[in-house]
Amino acid sequence: MLPQAKVRNMIIDYGCEITMAMNLNSHFSRILVGVVLAWAQALLPVSAAPLEYTLTPQKVADNTYLVQGKRESFSRLNGGNIVNTAFVITKEGVVVIDSGPSKRYGEALRAAIQRVTDVPVTDLFLTHHHPDHFLGNQAFTDVRIWALPKTGQLIAEQGNDLATNLYGLVGDWMRGTEVAMPNKPIEQVEFSLGGHTFQLIPLKGHTGADLALFDTRTQVLFAGDMIFYQRALATPNTPGLKTWIEEMSVVEGLNARQVIPGHGPVVEPESALTQMREYLTWLDQLLTESAEAGLTMNEVINQPIPKQFQEIALTQYELMRTVFHLYADYESAAF
C-alpha cells in the first residue's frame, strides 16, 4: 500500500473510531479530534488487566462450530475480537476457517478447539487478507494454511502494514504478532477431508479476493466477509459495490441451510442474505444519487440511516468510512 493511502486509512480508522461516539457536527472536527485522541490513547500505559480472549465455540450444525466475535470495531477493550472464526471436525482432522486478529487469539482459538475435540487441526482456510481474519496464523504454522493466490499476494504486500495499524488500534493484545504466510495456494474447486467436502468459491466483492466455503455435507456456507449480519459491512478494499451486489447471486444460489457471516450472529440464511443485499443496494443507491445531486462528502455522511437498518451495529461509522473510500469514484462517474 502507498504510504499516502496507508496514512489516509489510518486516519480514517482512528478518526471514525473515537469520534463517532462524540456526536460532533462538523465532520472535519470529528476527524481531527479523533486523531488527537487516538494518539493520546497510544501513549497511555498498558492496562494491568490480563489480556485474555474468552472464546466459546457454538455448535451450529453437525461437527460445525462458530466462534463469534463482538459486533464492534477494533478497540483496546475487545482486542480485535470482532470477527467470526469457525471450525469443522472431520474424521481425519479439524478444518478451521480464519485465524483471528492476533497471535494471542490464534492460540486461544486452538485451545478452544482442543476443549471440544481430540482430533488434531490439519487445515486452516483464510477467507481474505483483512487483519482480523489472518493474524492468528502463527498458532497454526504446523498445519496447511490455504488461501486464494491473490489473498497470499495481498498478505505479502500489505500484511505488515495491516498488523502495524492493528497494533495502533488494539495495543498490547497484539504482542508478538507477526505475519505468518499461507503455505497452500488454492488452485482446486473442492477440498475433501474425513467425510466432508467443501466447495471452494472464489469471489471478489469484499476485497478483490474473497473465499467462501460451502460444506456439501451439512449445507453450511462459510461466507467470510462477503456477508455481514447485524453489523455494517466494511468497504476499504471492495472493487465496487456493484461487483459485490452481483456476487450475492452466487452466494444466494447455493441455497445454504446455514450461513456463517464474517461478522455477526448466525440466523436462518434468508434473513442474513436479504439484509446484506438490501444494505448493499441502499449504499450503492445513496452514493449514486448523492453524487448526481452534487452533495458533499459531509452531507452524504450525515444522511439518515433507513429505519430497517437501525438494529445493525456501526452503520454511521461504516458509512463515514465508505464515503471516504468510494465517494470520489461515484462523483467521477456522475460528472
Report 77-136 residues binding Zn ion (CB under 5 A): 130
* Residues contacting residue 228 through CB under 8 Å, at least 6 positions apart: 234, 261, 262, 263, 264, 276, 279
174/295 with CB nearer Zn ion:
174
For residue 238 the three cell numbers come to 471492495
The sheet with strand 94-97 has its strands ordered as: 58-61, 64-67, 85-89, 94-97, 121-125, 144-147, 184-185
The yes or no reply on residue 210 touching Zn ion (CB under 5 A) is no
Q: How far is the CB of 230 from Zn ion (least distance, A)?
A: 16
Does residue 219 come out as left (phi exceeding 0), alpha (psi in the -120 to 50 range) or beta? left
98/107 with CB nearer Zn ion:
98
Secondary structure (3-state) at 109: helix
Q: Around Cβ 60, how many Cβ atoms within 10 Å?
A: 17
How many whole angstroms separate alpha carbon 330 and alpha carbon 174?
36
Contact pattern from residue 127 through residue 166 relative to Zn ion, giving x for each residue in contact according to CB under 5 A and a dash for the rest: ---x------------------------------------
Report 167-196 residues binding Zn ion (CB under 5 A): none
For residue 15 the three cell numbers come to 478518526
Q: How far is the CB of 302 from Zn ion (least distance, A)?
A: 26
103/130 with CB nearer Zn ion:
130
104/206 with CB nearer Zn ion:
206
Q: How far is the CB of 290 from Zn ion (least distance, A)?
A: 24
3-state secondary structure 173-193: HHCCCCCCCCCEECCCCEEEE
H/E stretch holding 141: none
The yes or no reply on residue 321 touching Zn ion (CB under 5 A) is no
Q: How far is the CB of 228 from Zn ion (least distance, A)?
A: 9
Which residues on neighbouring strands pair with residue 81, listed in sequence order? none
63/85 with CB nearer Zn ion:
85
The yes or no reply on residue 225 touching Zn ion (CB under 5 A) is yes
17/295 with CB nearer Zn ion:
17
Is the Cβ–Cβ distance between 257 and 271 less than 8 Å?
no
Is the Cβ–Cβ distance between 211 and 203 less than 8 Å?
yes
Size of the site for Zn ion (CB under 5 A): 2
How many whole angstroms separate alpha carbon 97 and alpha carbon 113?
12
Q: How far is the CB of 71 from Zn ion (least distance, A)?
A: 14
Which range binds Zn ion by CB under 5 A, 219-227, 278-286, 308-316, 323-331? 219-227
30/206 with CB nearer Zn ion:
206
Which range binds Zn ion by CB under 5 A, 22-30, 99-107, 220-228, 302-310? 220-228
Secondary structure (3-state) at 187: coil
- What separation, in Å, do the N-terminal and C-terminal C-alpha atoms of the chain show? 28
Which range binds Zn ion by CB under 5 A, 4-12, 27-35, 221-229, 264-272? 221-229
Contacts with Zn ion by CB under 5 A lie at: 130, 225
